[in-house]
Structure 1
Amino acid sequence: MSTPLRVIHLFANLNLGGAESRIMDLYRSQNEKELINNFVIMTNEHCHFTDEVLASGGTIHTIVNPRGQLLRNLWQLYQLLKNGEKYDAIHAHTSYYSGIAVFIAWLAGIKARVTHARNQQTGNETFKTKLLFKTGKWLANHFATSKLAISSALWRVFIWR
């Protein structure tokens, strides 16, 4: 019997959103002999899907939100990926933060690193946000092994070829 593929999905939270709902569809249908999906979120709040994941024996890791605690957030993510359960892949569903996450995953030795862009902008156009968005795009293009976007227009905005 082969070892199942282990994927960790990175979200801001596990509330009732489009991306979260689609991954939960995948989670519900997983064959744990072939695939195990776990989660890392950046909130301590009780989320919509928390009880379902925990009741089915799933794992939800929590790290601090990067807003106001970016360095601590990055360190916690690195520690989780490097020293926690061993994952074959990370799938980051967090727009520009996805680039930062796949860089951290690369440092931690995760072989498959997927970014998933869903937003063209953050709604907060401060210098800091613009810098993080551009940095995230650059990191995604250099450290992601796969890049996904929900539309071709978003692909052109978020991902350089």
Structure 2
Amino acid sequence: MCKPIRVLHVIGKMDRAGAETMIMSLYRRIDRNKIQFDFMVHSKEKGDFDDEIRALGGKIFYIDKFKGFNPIPYYFAWRKFLKKHSEYRVIHGHIGSSALIYISVAKSLGRKTIIHSHSAFSDRFNLHDHLISWLNYPNKHIATELLAASKQAGIDGFGKSVILQNNFRVLNNAIDTNKFLYSKLKRQQIRTKLGISPDTLIIGNIGRLVEVKNQSRLIEIFNTILVKIPDAHLLILGEGPLREKLEQLIVDKGLKSNVHLVGVKDNVADYLSAMDIFVFPSLHEGLGISLIEAQSTGIPCVVSDAVPIEAKVSPLLTFISLKSSDNEWMKIILRERENYSIQNRTSQVEKIKQANYDISQTLPQVSSLYLNLAEESNGISNDNNTNL
């Protein structure tokens, strides 16, 4: 029996974030007799998915993070690793800022490479975004294949002309819709656990506690909603470096009894069932996989205009400008909550499937891509090339 091909994913850390969740959804369902995933991470801290990765037969390697001033050590670390590990014929990169280095090394050694753009920029395109775009732009001329979470993520990651390239495609951040069905029982259980009554309004949000997810603005918007609905609750799932800052904001505004930072959860679908409306004021997004999950469970979603249009896979999603006032956000949130009351809530699985966001639809695409690239790479190795 032939050994499976081994695909090396290059990523920061395997925590529960959008790209990482998508990778794991694919990994759990891919035919591991044919394709096995391994990971090159840039953090020595344990990732949320590390134990599961190893249980599925995957390996996790560590390399020092690219910091801008260490391109030569970073280059040689990659060259040493790939020369030692000739089994990796396909490299799937999810970090654009340093991709020029590692895909150049991989190409020089005859490997096939994929660069995946997961983020789009907002109207507040800043110096940091310019730098990331500048670092990522040359990758489209070197990588074998280019993937993006949305068309806009591809344009922002690789430039406008990328959509004309034959090696570019949008890969939907698909979910297992069977896991994201509305459950009255789970709704009741989560609310009981949180000490929230069945009819109380719960506004929800899922995402890393980082600046781009804009949870500080969400808390400000929620504070405005409390003027109208004093017993409302805000439920935020996720962890990140801004946790302490957000906790202090909650205390400063006297919202400790109404706002719940519950951290990372394995049973996200259960918490989605407990929510009444999902609010997502992100500064920029590649897509926002949690929005697909939320719509699947039948939750109305109010999201910023920085979210790509591809995230709207059902009538449940409404866009609003980041420039709109907190009061305007409040009006839209309460309107959508009224339009899609809990009494009429149903899962939107069929609409998710019609939009090709079910994992069963993207899995064959990814599997074929990996197998074809591995076949092309087989026997075309330049591992002994010492010119670079």
1:153 matched to which residue of 2? 152
1:34 aligns with 2:34: yes
Counterparts in 2 of 1:24 and 1:85: CA distance versus 1, 3 Å: farther
Residue 4 (structure 2) aligns with: 4
Q: Deviations over 1:42-81 (max 9, x none)?
A: 1111111112222333200100011153332222222222
Corresponding residue of 1:83: 84
2:70 paired with 1:69: yes
Structure-1 separation of matches of 2:51 and 2:135: 35
What is the identity, as a one-letter code, of the residue corresponding to 2:63? Answer: I
Classify 1:6/1:78 alpha carbon distance in 2 versus 1 (closer, same or farther; 3 Å): same
- Aligned position for 1:57: 57
Q: Is the 8 A contact 1:95 1:118 kept in 2?
A: no
For 2:57 and 2:118, the matched residues in 1 are separated by 29
**Paired residue secondary structure (2:88):** coil
Kept after mapping to 2: 8 A contact 1:99/1:115: no
2:127 counterpart SS class: coil
Maintained 8 Å contact 1:100/1:136: no
Match of 1:100 in 2: 101
For structure 1, the 5+ residue unaligned runs are none
By how many angstroms is 1:94 displaced? 1.1
Q: Which deviations, in whole Å up to 9, do the C-alpha atoms of 1:121-141 show, x marking residues without a partner?
A: 5x8726xx72x6424311x11
- Shift >4 Å, 4+ stretches: none
Identity rate, percent: 26
Whole-angstrom CA distance in 2 between matches of 1:69 and 1:98? 14
Which stretches in structure 2 are left out of the alignment for 5+ residues?
Answer: 163-388
Instruction: Decide whether aligned partners of structure 1 residues 51 and 145 sit closer, same or farther in structure 2, where only a CA change above 3 A counts.
Output: same
Conserved? CA contact 1:6–1:35, under 8 Å: yes
Aligned residues, how many? 157
Q: Secondary structure at 2:6's aligned position in 1? A: strand
* Secondary structure in 2 matching 1:114: strand
Letter of the structure 1 residue corresponding to residue 140 of structure 2? N
Specify the alignment match of 1:21 in structure 2. 21
- Is 1:125 the counterpart of 2:131? The answer is no
Residues 57, 2 of structure 1: CA spacing in aligned structure 2 closer, same or farther, 3 A cutoff? closer
Q: Deviations over 1:101-144 (max 9, x none)?
A: 3222112321x2100012245x8726xx72x6424311x11211
Against the structure 1 CA distance between its residues 75 and 120, is the aligned structure 2 distance closer, same or farther, given a 3 Å change threshold?
A: farther
- Aligned AA (1:78): R
Aligned residues of 2:15 and 2:49 also touching (Cα < 8 A) = yes
Measure, in 2, the Cα distance between the counterparts of 1:133 and 1:100: 15
Residue of structure 1 in register with 2:44 after alignment: 44
- Alpha carbons 2:9, 2:94 under 8 Å: kept: yes
The CA distance in 1 between the partners of 2:53 and 2:153, in whole Å, is: 30
* CA-CA distance at 1:93 after TM superposition: 0.7
- Secondary structure of the structure 1 residue equivalent to 2:92: strand
CA distance in 2, matches of 1:18, 1:66: 22
Instruction: Specify the code of the residue in structure 1 equivalent to 2:51.
Output: D
CA shift, 1:91, in A, is 0.6
**RMSD between aligned residues:** 2.5
The alpha-carbon distance between structure 1 residues 65 and 96, as it changes in their structure 2 partners (threshold 3 A), is closer
